Structure 1
Amino acid sequence: MPNIGGIIKTLQNIMRKDQGVSGDAQRIEQLGWIRIEGHRPEYNFL
């Protein structure tokens, strides 16, 4: 099983570089949407 904490930390570090994301609350929301959309067949990237 992959280290979930490490994966989330890596994603947060990547998202911190995005000028359009302002704060942890917005990053958490975006991670949630990425997780939800990853289960839809038309968004088969996760």
Structure 2
Amino acid sequence: MQHIKRGYRGLSLLFNLNWDRILYLTTIAVALLAGGFIGSL
């Protein structure tokens, strides 16, 4: 059980450190998809 808690805590720490990068990459991906959709019309 402690191993699971440690893994969750480590994953949570990584997410907290990198949430802005994840948001940045997600925004770029959404923009590319939207541009591709609009370009195909």
Same fold (TM over 0.5): no
Greater RCO, CA 8 A, separation 6+? 1
Q: TM-score, normalised by structure 1?
A: 0.39
- State the TM-score, normalized to the length of structure 2: 0.44
- Mark the structure with the bigger radius of gyration: 2
The answer to which structure has the higher helix fraction is: 2
